[in-house]
A and B are shown apart, each in its own frame.
Chain A
Amino acid sequence: VQLVESGGDVVQPGKSLRLSCAASGFTFSNYAMHWVRQAPGKGLEWVAAIYDDGTHKFYTDSVKGRFTISRDNSKNTLYLQMNSLRVEDRAIYYCARDLTLARGVISGPVDYWGQGSLVTVSS
């Protein structure tokens, strides 16, 4: 199993950025996926999750209406579109696989993580 994030950058407040996560080594379309972030030197914050088929999406309150999680199962890729970025969105963003191999389920624990992609929001 391998998860490789990309797209992290330095952007100004109010701007947009899209993160990608390329998955390999497992049947991507069979698993729900998550984004989890970590501000430098801080704790973990769950950001969003998406069903294996992309039909259901869930977000933490602080990103609702600004971030969109999506996936392309034909490309084995997970995305996080981040709009109206704020200084407080600065963090390492991890892509992670849900533990449970099951259709139409998000169980919550995540068993594989990418290496993370750094997003810096600064004027």
Chain B
Amino acid sequence: DTAVSQTPKYLVTQMGNDKSIKCEQNLGHDTMYWYKQDSKKFLKIMFSYNNKELIINETVPNRFSPKSPDKAHLNLHINSLELGDSAVYFCASSDRDRGSEQYFGPGTRLTVT
């Protein structure tokens, strides 16, 4: 009965490759997010997606593109991976009408070599 799940848990790839991380929530929430946790453990928002409205953090390179096939899924696609993309990526979800408490997935540790 996992609330927010992500796959894969670990991802090791080479520079220049394209990769995707998948996220699914079974909480019936209307908003989903992607956060990046850098090497200093600082968490920062990348994207939020609410009812087909995408809000992009202005510091995110356009090599990163979120894709939401439906309300329960928000995938993250990354083109032309760079060393600096190495981080832990967390998916989260919340419901605007239920207090907006955010629930986080277990994270995907991306290592770019």
Q: Do A and B come from one complex?
A: no
Interface set of A (CB-CB < 8 Å, partner B):
none
